[in-house]
Amino acid sequence: NGLAEDALPLLQALDPNAAPLAARDRVWDELGRAARTEIGKGAFDSAYRLTRKHSLARGEDFAEAEFLSGWLALRLRPREPEAAAHFSKLESNVSTPVSLSRAQFWQARALAAQGDDTAAATPLNRAASHATTFFGLMARAQLAAGPTSLAPLADPPIDPATRARFLARPMAQAMLLLADIGETDTLSLFALAFDDQLESAADHALLADLLREAQLPNVAVRTAKTGLAAGRLSVEASFPLLAVPRAAQARGVEQAFVLAISRQESEFNQFAVSRANARGLMQLIPSTAQFAARREGLSYQRALLTDDPDYNMTLGASYLAHLLDQFGGSYVLAIAAYNAGPSNVNRWIAQYGDPRQRGVDILDWIEQIPFAETRNYVHRVLENLQVYRQRLAAETPIPLRIREDLQRGVY
User: Active-site residue numbers?
Assistant: 265
- 42: Cα separation from own chain's centroid: 25
Q: Which H or E run contains 260?
A: helix 255-266
CA–CA distance, 408 with 403 (Å, rounded to integer): 9
Q: How many CB atoms lie within 10 A of CB 373?
A: 10
Burial class (CB in 10 A: 0-12, 13-18, 19+), 299: exposed
CA–CA distance, 26 with 16 (Å, rounded to integer): 10
SS3 call for 151: coil
Distances (CA, A) of 316 to 58, 189, 248, 252, 310: 38, 30, 8, 13, 10
Cβ neighbours of residue 103 closer than 8 Å, sequence gap 6 or more: 67, 87, 88, 90, 91, 94, 123
CA–CA distance, 161 with 383 (Å, rounded to integer): 34
78, amino acid identity: P
